[in-house]
C-alpha cells in the first residue's frame, strides 16, 4: 500500500459524510493527478462508491461524492491503524538509537 493511497484512505475515514475529490486533495496535500486515480482504483476494488451530488442550488459543476462501502471502511481502518502503529514503532526505535551528549558511565 502506497503512502498516497494511505493518505486518501485516512482523509476519507476522517469524514462522517460522503466527500468530494477536491476536499481529499486539500486534506492530503496530494495533486489531483494522484488522488483521482486512487479514488477510481478504490472504487473498482469495491472499497468506496461514488455518486453525483444533486444539489441544484449550488453553483458550479456537479461534485462526485465518495464514501466507503462497509467492507472498505473496515479494510481502510485496519491499514491506517497499521501505518500509525508502524510509525510509532519506528519513532521508538529511532529514539532508542539516538546519540546523546551524556558521558558513558562504567
**Range from 26-30, 54-58, 97-101 that averages highest in pLDDT:** 26-30
- Percent with pLDDT over 70 in the chain: 80
Note the pTM of the prediction, 2 decimals.
Answer: 0.77
* pLDDT, mean of residues 1-13: 94
- 6-10's contacts with Cβ under 8 Å and 24+ in sequence apart are 6/79, 6/80, 6/83, 8/35, 8/38, 8/39, 8/42, 9/42, 9/76, 9/79, 9/80, 10/80
Domains of the chain with CATH codes: 3-83 (1.10.10.10)
CB 38 within 8 A of CB 8: yes
Amino acid at each position: 500500500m502506497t503512502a498516497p493511497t494511505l493518505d486518501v484512505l485516512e482523509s476519507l475515514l476522517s469524514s462522517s459524510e460522503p466527500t468530494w475529490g477536491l476536499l481529499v486533495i486539500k486534506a492530503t496535500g496530494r495533486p489531483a493527478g494522484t488522488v483521482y486515480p486512487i479514488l477510481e482504483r478504490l472504487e473498482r476494488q469495491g472499497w468506496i462508491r461514488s455518486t453525483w451530488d444533486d444539489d441544484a442550488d449550488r453553483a458550479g459543476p456537479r461534485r462526485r461524492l465518495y464514501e466507503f462501502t462497509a467492507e472498505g471502511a473496515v479494510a481502510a481502518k485496519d491499514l491506517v491503524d497499521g501505518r500509525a502503529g508502524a510509525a510509532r514503532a519506528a519513532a521508538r526505535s529511532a529514539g532508542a538509537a539516538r546519540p546523546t551528549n551524556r558521558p558513558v558511565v562504567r
